[in-house]
Amino acid sequence: MEKVKDKLSDNFTENLNLFNNLADTYIRFNDFNKALEYYQKALALSQKTNNKEEIANALNNIGITYWNLSDYEKSLESHHESLAIFKAINSKKNIAVTLNNIGNVYQSLSNYDKSLKFHLKSLKIYEDTKDEKGIASSLNNIGILYMKLTDYDHALDFFQRSLDICRNIDFLQGEANALNNIGAIYFDQKNYKKALENFQNSLNSLEKTGDKSSIAATLNNIADVYAGLGDNKQALNHFKRALKFETEINNRFGIALCLKNMGMLLQNDHQYSKASEHFEKSLQIADEINSKELLQEIYLTLSDLNSLQENFQTALENFKKYSKIKDEVFSEESVKKISEMRTIYETERKEKEAEIYRLQNIDLKKEINERIAAEDALRISEERFRSLFEIATEFIIIMDSEYRILQVNPETIRKSGYEGNELIGKKINEIFPTKYNELFSQKYNELKKNNNANLEAEFICKDGTVLIMDCSFSVVYDKPGKTMFVVSFQRDITQKKEIEKMKSDFVSHVSHELRSPLASIKGFTTTILTDKDMEPTTREEFLEIINNESDRLTRLIENLLDISKIESGSVKMKFQHSDIVEILNLAVSNIKPLADKKNIKIEKNFPAFLSIVNCDRDNIYQVIMNLLSNAVKFTPEKGTIKLFIEDKHDQVEVKVSDNGVGIPEISIRKIFDKFYRAGNSQDKIIGTGLGLSIAKEIIKSHHGKIWVESKSGKGSDFYFTLPKKRV
């Protein structure tokens, strides 16, 4: 490449081509910063000769490069400058290309309404100029937007229209892209047969073009399908083939992604050591290229692997790293505002609690300070302090002026698990993790200045249990002002912190779930209002999407209200003797149309005798509908769902069994948690993540039990029991 650089001549065209070729070469090697440097040189050269078209082309290339570098603001700036020049010289083809590029940038920003607006403008120009390749590309891009909004029916329609045009004009790259996207939709819907068929056809087309980057991406998709089918051998083979192509083109993101995916397969095969090696290699590359998306996924998978290896400390550390990156990425404006409000609220609340806590202890501290100097008053003070010392439910630790422990109260020994002599003589910071050493040094200085200090720190008990302690320190002086001792009151706030985290997680989950339908409603409403020339059919499509998203939002809010009422005990259960078979038959008849769409067979294995239970009929019907709905969602086409009823003396057991995708072992213990979705269904199937939580609370209110038995790829069995008599 250095030799090529030396060939610069005085000829404008030759030099311009040279700069563009160098930039294109760096693009192929994913060195976008270097590519940007040469595109900018091409721009400077074009500006010297005032060649409008070449200036606009250079700005377009710079905009695409900034997009690859995720600098969306500069990307949009360059593209809009380019668009203005192309409009001035009336270059319709280039106007359409630039509009398409701007649409892609807004898509990356998740601003789907603006993205759709620019893609539709691009499509209109391509249609006016009868540019079939451009039409196919625009249709494909619009399909991707619908796919991101999980509107798969509309997405498939646009992809199929794009595919038909590409095949008609023998546009192999476009054909491969459309097939790949169609395959992705079928994969999301767990239709692995159709997904594999489309991915394989895409690969056949790509192999004719020699596009190694796209071939690698498609091989990754095929591997994902085989993994979904439980054929780990084929999946691993295709990931290896993808890795080979990614390595040849030096696509470091692709290399890291392949290594991560291979590691997950090895983990599923219980080859934990090899899985760890792949994750670590992937992590190193992801860190070098600063891919937060990959880093987030790798830390989470590493945390799962550590848990399976029972290395829980490392699992916790990796989960914290995952959470940290997730929080950095999860920075949309609405969530940011909620987070800011929550922070203000929590800060004010903590300050009030700290003040109350300080006031509660001030009398004792004042008494110690005033009475300890007098020998006759010391006995009284000691008696009062001893009483508090013995019965206090907080840790009380007495130290000398060098902060070495002199005495600890019984509660400290009871709760920490340490013997008194294991703590006596140690400096206070030595019984806390070393990460707090610097903080304790700061607090020592604060004590010398102010005579008191406060901090929060983790205390590690003898058995390894971690307690979060709210610690206050006070200095006790004699009359001449010499330090007699330092006393520390330490309150266990672990449970309070857990509750705070639960509240924080709940707010984050709710804001996340509300954001998606609201963004969709806002986006499509804005588009309808601003595009006065919109086709009636397109307007109807958009209105249908808005209606569906409104229904989805309503379901989420109703579910939130339901679970809130049930947990608070404000729901009045109408218990009555009911035939559970009758309730099950009603639920089956109502779910059957959904099952029929996927050719799913529902088998009923009910006893001949009556199965009478004491229950709230409507609530139990809701539980059954939820379990059946989930079974239909996660069972592939032509699958089977079975229902069983078994008499268990004083209770009745109901089982809903399917042969669907199953639930990973690591997800089973969390499956009934609010907003939790199993690892093999996350972001694949629409739902609020509250159905099973509501079911659990309803069954709990009936004094019954609900549980699941499942293996990934082998289906799931959900059970619940109900008492025959009212408890």
Residue 135 in domain: no
Shared-domain flag, residues 438 and 510? no
The answer to whether residue 407 is domain-embedded is yes
Q: How confident is the model at residue 721 (pLDDT cuts 50, 70, 90)?
A: very high
* Whole-structure pTM value: 0.43
* 723 and 614 Cβ atoms separated by less than 8 Å: yes
380 shares a domain with 244: no
Task: Give the pLDDT confidence score for residue 353 in this predicted structure.
Answer: 58
Bridge partners of residue 476, in order along the sequence: 485
Cα–Cα distance for residue pair 212/248, rounded to 1 Å? 8
Percent above pLDDT 70 for the chain:
82
* CATH at 294: 1.25.40.10
Quick one: which H or E segment has residue 473?
strand 466-477
pLDDT at 364 over 60: no
Cβ-count burial of 608 within 10 angstroms (0-12 exposed, 13-18 middle, 19+ buried)? exposed
CB-CB neighbours of 650 under 10 Å: 10
Same domain assignment for residues 372 and 382: yes
Q: What is the mean pLDDT of residues 378-395?
A: 68
Helix ranges restricted to H, 229-332: 232-248, 252-268, 272-288, 292-308, 312-329
**377 plus 396 within the same structural domain:** no
Short-list 134, 72, 71, 68, CA closest to 99 = 134
Tell me: do 193 and 181 sit in the same domain. Answer: yes
- Asked whether 272 and 309 are in contact (CB, 8 A), the reply is yes
pLDDT in tens, 316-328: 788 788 778 776 6
Q: Is the dihedral of CA 356, 358, 359, 363 positive or negative?
A: positive
Radius of gyration of the chain (CA): 33
Residue 136 lies in a domain: no
Bridging pattern class, strands 601-605 and 640-648: parallel
**Does residue 534 sit within a domain?**
yes
pLDDT in tens, 503-518: 666 666 566 566 666 7
Whole domain around residue 302: which residue ranges?
251-330
pLDDT range class, residue 369, cuts 50, 70, 90: low
> Who contacts 240 (Cβ-Cβ below 8 Å, separation ≥6)?
258, 262
- Cα angle for residues 20, 22, 28 (degrees, 5° grid): 100
Whether 612 maps to a domain, the answer reads: yes
- Please give the torsion angle defined by the CA atoms of residues 692, 695, 697 and 698, in that order, rounded to the nearest 10 degrees: 170
258 and 241 share one domain:
no
Which DSSP state fits 706? E
Q: How confident is the model at residue 30 (pLDDT cuts 50, 70, 90)?
A: low
Task: Specify whether the CB–CB gap between 709 and 665 falls below 8 A.
Answer: no
- Answer whether residue 202 is part of any domain: yes
In three-state secondary structure terms, 616 is strand
* pLDDT score, position 360: 55
The pLDDT score that the predictor gives to residue 348 is 42
Number of domains present in the structure of the chain: 7
pLDDT band at 688 (very low <50, low <70, confident <90, very high): low
pLDDT in tens, 516-545: 667 778 878 888 888 888 888 888 888 888
Q: Are residues 562 and 486 in the same domain?
A: no
Do 229 and 317 share a structural domain?
no
Q: Which CATH number is 539's domain given?
A: 1.10.287.130
pLDDT tens-digit readout, 120-174:
899 999 989 999 999 999 999 999 888 888 888 888 999 999 999 999 999 998 9
Q: What three-state secondary structure class fits 364?
A: helix
Residues 416 and 409: their CA atoms lie apart, in Å, by 11
Non-local CB neighbours of 430 within 8 Å, separated by 6+ positions: none
- pLDDT digit string, tens, across residues 617-638: 888 988 998 899 889 988 999 9
Asked if the model's pLDDT at residue 101 lies above 50, the reply is: yes
